[in-house]
Structure 1
Amino acid sequence: MQTNDSVSGHDAASDACGAANSVVRRYHAGQPIAGPEPDWLAQETPLALEYNGISHATVLATPCDLEDLALGFSLTEGILRSPSDLHDMDIVESSQGYIAQLTIASACFSQLKQRRRTLAGRTGCGLCGLESLDDVVRPLPPVAGPAQPIEPSAILRAMDALKRVQPLHQQTGATHAAAWADLSGEILHVREDVGRHNALDKLIGVLMQRRSPHDTSCGFALITSRASFEMVQKTASVGIPAVVAVSAPTHYAVQTAEELGVMLIGFARQRDFTVYTHSHYLA
């Protein structure tokens, strides 16, 4: 499966995974402007997650970087305590989609069975299928903050670069992206998906790989969507100190970010952004 670790030099027409060809007819003012022509559509495929042979959840996702998605989902949903709790993973293609077969530590599997959660497949809602309010808000320790103050110019640099490193969105216009930038504003990783939660889980998955996990205090996350409560909770669960969103945050997201020590920035467009919490993280 193709990955997007390189954030420069992408040719969207040839390198983006997760796109399928279609034929369309374009109209303007009710009149056709051309004959049938090719176009690209973002793929949306079921991914079933199995833990120690037991099916737990199914999400609808763009079928690339699925290993990152499975690991990130498992961490941000509290199924794994750390990447070391994942012993093995296989991504298996089936006639209906993909299956992520994860072998996890026995203590994690025991806890998972006790939770008895059933998640419905989704691309937009991050809380569908939860059994109780206790499943929504997980107790998390506050984030320590960035390793050093973040320059506002670094945020502007990263947001400007983000526009150029989304090959799948350039092809289809139908995907979200989540990116990781270092404290200078250089984007190091980008993950794309039809679902904003999936894109963030993919990013967290690549950041938390077992072999060489990043120091999450040495950078910040960027998302091409609104900042919801769950997006803040996911980043806080792995110690990311700042989230920069293109769109608006919700009130619950701001409240959660304040409590968990996450600097939350919204409306990051062109040369402007709005800081909602922990502005003292800025230089």
Structure 2
Amino acid sequence: MTAISDRTAAGDAAVAPTGPLRWQDGHWGRGRLLPSPEEQPVAIVIDGMSQAVLMATPHDLRDFAVGFALTEGLIASLDEITGFEEMPVEVQGLPAVEARLWLKPGHAARLAERRRSMVGPVGCGLCGVDSIEAALPQILPVTSNWIMTAGDVGRAMAAMASGQVRRAETPAIHGAGFWDGETALVREDVGRHNALDKLSGALARQGIDATRGAIVMSSRLSVDLVQKAARIGAPILIGASAPTALALAWAEAAGMTLIARARADGFDLYTHPGRIPGSPQD
């Protein structure tokens, strides 16, 4: 434990005065010194049973726990929850947190089926799932007919980006936003899956209908993000980077509109174009 602390302190001291080395336009220089995002082990504990341990940014943990429970299928609705408790703990001298949810009697049957207890890398979306069946659950159809214009895609990305207050301090953080046609509700985390779980929890806790808007991600789009968005009924999923092949297949089968490589001036539309009026296949 001492060796880790010494190494970390030495590394911070070495970088702190001038910032990191940077290769830019064929030349070496010094990059800007930016704060590093905070990261801690966060255990999602439901009715006293650990469901997952993820490396996460330790804020909005109630949203994280609620959203994780919803998007992983551990609860069906917010009314199944009777309480929440955030308990700081220490593991081998390092800070950690238990985000504890308590359910109404009779609602804990799903927990044994989906229990996950291994520590995963940052925002690992499927870490600890112990079978192919658990990793590839039944496809949930997305039925919302909510639409957005092609111009709204760039506006949604801009609204999500402007809502990333922590990214303004350090670029090493992901954002997930919900665009309702006018504004974006945003949550952030070092893990993209964590950011979406936090957003899902925030939507549920604020009584916002996820079927009446688009999920906007600052990241690539993997199948687990599609699965999570489908579980809350989001009709459109937008990402700043590329989708995986399985994400595309899942979105197509679920009836979800998937948009990737989205920027202010353009995007790639992959599945179910009918929700973007005027698109060639509309």
Instruction: Place the TM-score, normalised by the shorter chain, in its bin.
Output: 0.7 to 0.9
* In structure 1, distance between residues paired with 2:106 and 2:117: 19
Counterpart pick for 2:200 among 196, 204, 207: 204
* In structure 2, distance between residues paired with 1:120 and 1:54: 15
* In structure 2, distance between residues paired with 1:71 and 1:116: 16
- Maintained 8 Å contact 1:145/1:261: no
* In structure 2, distance between residues paired with 1:124 and 1:116: 17
Change (3 A) 1:273 1:53: same
Change (3 A) 1:104 1:174: same
- Maintained 8 Å contact 2:261/2:268: yes
Q: Number of matched residues?
A: 257
Alignment of 1:184-203 (within 5 A): 184=181, 186-203=182-199
**Deviation for aligned residue 1:113:** 1.9
- Maintained 8 Å contact 2:211/2:232: no
1:240-276 superposed Cα distances (whole Å, 9 cap, x missing partner): 0000000010110011001111100001023110111
Alignment match, 2:245: 251
* In structure 2, distance between residues paired with 1:207 and 1:115: 23
Alignment of 1:100-249 (within 5 A): 100-147=99-146, 149-182=147-180, 184=181, 186-209=182-205, 212-249=206-243
Moved more, 23-32 or 60-69: 23-32
**Percentage of identical aligned residues:** 35
**Deviation for aligned residue 1:115:** 4.1
Normalised by the length of structure 2, the TM-score is: 0.84
Read off the aligned partner of 1:281 and give its amino acid letter. Answer: R
1:12-69 superposed Cα distances (whole Å, 9 cap, x missing partner): xxxxxxxx9x8352346798769xx964110011111111122222111111111111
**Deviation for aligned residue 1:140:** 4.1
Change (3 A) 1:108 1:159: same
**Deviation for aligned residue 1:125:** 2.8
Change (3 A) 1:33 1:207: closer
Alignment match, 2:9: none
Change (3 A) 1:78 1:31: closer
Counterpart pick for 1:57 among 52, 56, 61: 52
CA RMSD of aligned residues (A): 2.4
Change (3 A) 1:25 1:243: same
SS in 2 for 1:208: helix
Change (3 A) 1:82 1:39: same
**Deviation for aligned residue 1:163:** 2.7
Alignment match, 1:279: 273
Read off the aligned partner of 2:85 and give its amino acid letter. Answer: D
* In structure 2, distance between residues paired with 1:75 and 1:28: 41
Read off the aligned partner of 1:262 and give its amino acid letter. Answer: M
* In structure 2, distance between residues paired with 1:142 and 1:28: 46
* In structure 2, distance between residues paired with 1:181 and 1:32: 39
* In structure 1, distance between residues paired with 2:198 and 2:41: 15
Alignment match, 2:7: none
Counterpart pick for 2:37 among 30, 35, 42: 42
Normalised by the length of structure 1, the TM-score is: 0.83
Moved more, 51-60 or 107-116: 107-116
Counterpart pick for 1:75 among 70, 84, 101: 70
